[in-house]
Amino acid sequence: MRALALIVRRDLALSFAGGGAMMPLIFFLLVATLFPFAVGPDAALLGRVGGGALWMAALLAALLPVDRLIEPDARAGILDQYVVRGISDEAVAGAKILAHWLGFGPPLMLAALPAAALLKLDGATVMRLEAGLALGTPGLAALAVATSALTAGLRGAGALAGLVMLPLAVPLLIFGAGGLGVQGHGALKLLAASSLLLLAGAPFAAGAALRAGRD
């Protein structure tokens, strides 16, 4: 357990120190800024489609750091050192998911506030968006780490990661955006369920990918 806590701390420190943790946020806010330019400054229209646009932005923002979650540690031999110390690949993946979520989920929820203001979302929708992000970002983080483990060391890993990750993120997007409606409680429950499923499966998928990648 102590080793896993240290891994979480290291990964979190690394994501903030490199400035990498800011990239998805800046991207997210940039989309929120650009979206009104693309569809026009009609407040009613923006309020209606803005929430969905923010979910799209969140999904793409989650994709940005995928090439940095596993590959640098694999190349530097750090993952090998974990293995030699008897820390299982699944546990390492779990720690990396937690660290990635901590560096990604809460900051994204904060950034969603100014973004929602830019898109003229009303208060109730913002609350539902925040609830959805709280439920959905852990699933996105799990998916990002699993994808990162699968594509680590491949040429063109960045593009491939998008092809692997985005289809798997469709349930999160559907239920997340569905949860924005007035009667979105059912969708939020399904969002939580999809997120849990990803969280439960991702450490094992990522662990298997890391083991396979060592050969």
DSSP structure class, residue 8: H
Site for another protein contains 10 (CB under 8 A): yes
Site for another protein contains 155 (CB under 8 A): no
**Least separation in angstroms between CB 38 and another protein:** 38
Which one among 84, 123, 155, 183 touches another protein, defined by CB under 8 A?
Answer: 84
Outline where the chain has alpha helix (H).
2-17, 22-39, 43-63, 66-69, 71-75, 78-84, 89-118, 123-151, 157-168, 170-178, 185-213
Binding characters for another protein, 23-42, by CB under 8 A (x = yes): --------------------
Which one among 26, 34, 81, 110 touches another protein, defined by CB under 8 A?
Answer: 81
Q: Rounded to whole angstroms, what are the CA distances from 57 to 45, 153, 190?
A: 18, 27, 20
Contacts of 152 (CB under 8 A, 6+ apart): 70, 71, 74, 209, 210, 213
**Least separation in angstroms between CB 63 and another protein:** 25
The type of residue at 180 is L
Which one among 41, 44, 155, 215 touches another protein, defined by CB under 8 A?
Answer: 215
For another protein, which is the closer residue by CB, 44 or 84? Answer: 84
**Least separation in angstroms between CB 152 and another protein:** 14
For another protein, which is the closer residue by CB, 77 or 114? Answer: 77
For 13, the token pair is 């420190």
Which one among 41, 86, 123, 156 touches another protein, defined by CB under 8 A?
Answer: 86
Binding segment (CB under 8 A) for another protein, from list 43-51, 78-86, 97-105, 135-143: 78-86
Site for another protein contains 44 (CB under 8 A): no
Give which of 82, 60, 137 is closest to 106, Cα–Cα.
Answer: 137
Number of chain residues interacting with another protein (CB under 8 A): 20
Query: Rounded distance, CA 65 to CA 78, Å?
Result: 19
Query: Rounded distance, CA 179 to CA 20, Å?
Result: 29
